[in-house]
Amino acid sequence: MAQVFTEDGNVHPVTAVSFEEFPTDLTPGTRIRVVGISKGKGFSGVMKRHGFKGMPATHGRSTKGRAPGSIGGTTTPGRVYRGKRMAGRMGGEQVTIQGLSVLEVDPESKTAKISGALPGPRLSGLTIIYEPQVSEQSVADNVPPEENQPQAEGNPPVETPEAKSQEEGVKEKEETTNES
């Protein structure tokens, strides 16, 4: 990991990535997600692997402060439930990091600087997936106006105080025009 200082004075942590074949459509500002295999951490206990709190260090506790505690009942259920979090191998699993962006691109040296940390050890294989570009206009086009939204069956339309005051104002105008 390294740092890049932008023109406005902000600091961005970046990771340099090299490509075998440089993608032609990779430009600065492109939103991506990266899939890779996380670093293996070996056999880990429940405190490191799953974030267990551990036992109290005082009040008669002499050993086993990092032990997981009970793993199940006795007669009922008489077994350990499937999926019980226990000690074991940690890491070495597929991880997807979303919401990254490309900050710098160098097609000649086939490298790019990507914001943030990437999964896995150095020189490990990564898969880059382009996130779909969502513009504000497309979001506005997909939202129907409130007047056109259908009412749920069986529910009467909800009257707001603003709507009541507007209706009363219209009725008052009609009454004044009818009187004259």
State the pLDDT at residue 35.
Answer: 96
**pLDDT (mean) for 6-35:** 90
pLDDT (0 to 100) of residue 58: 86
**C-alpha span between 49 and 140 (Å, rounded):** 44
Res 55: pLDDT: 87
4 pLDDT band (50/70/90 cuts)? confident
Average pLDDT of the chain is 83
Question: Per residue in 121-135, pLDDT tens?
Answer: 998 999 999 988 766
pLDDT attached to residue 112: 93
Mark residue 91 as left, alpha or beta (left: phi above 0; alpha: psi -120 to 50; beta: remaining). Answer: left
Using 50, 70 and 90 to split pLDDT, how confident is the model at 36?
very high
pLDDT at 121: 93
Q: In this predicted model, what pLDDT tens digit does every residue of 133-143 receive, in sequence order?
A: 766 666 666 66
Report the distance separating Cα 153 and Cα 179, nearest Å: 40
Query: Mapping DSSP to helix (H, G, I), strand (E, B) and coil, where does residue 127 land?
Result: strand
Residue 116 neighbours by CB under 8 Å, 6+ apart: 13, 14, 15, 97, 100
Q: Residue 67: is its pLDDT beyond 70?
A: yes
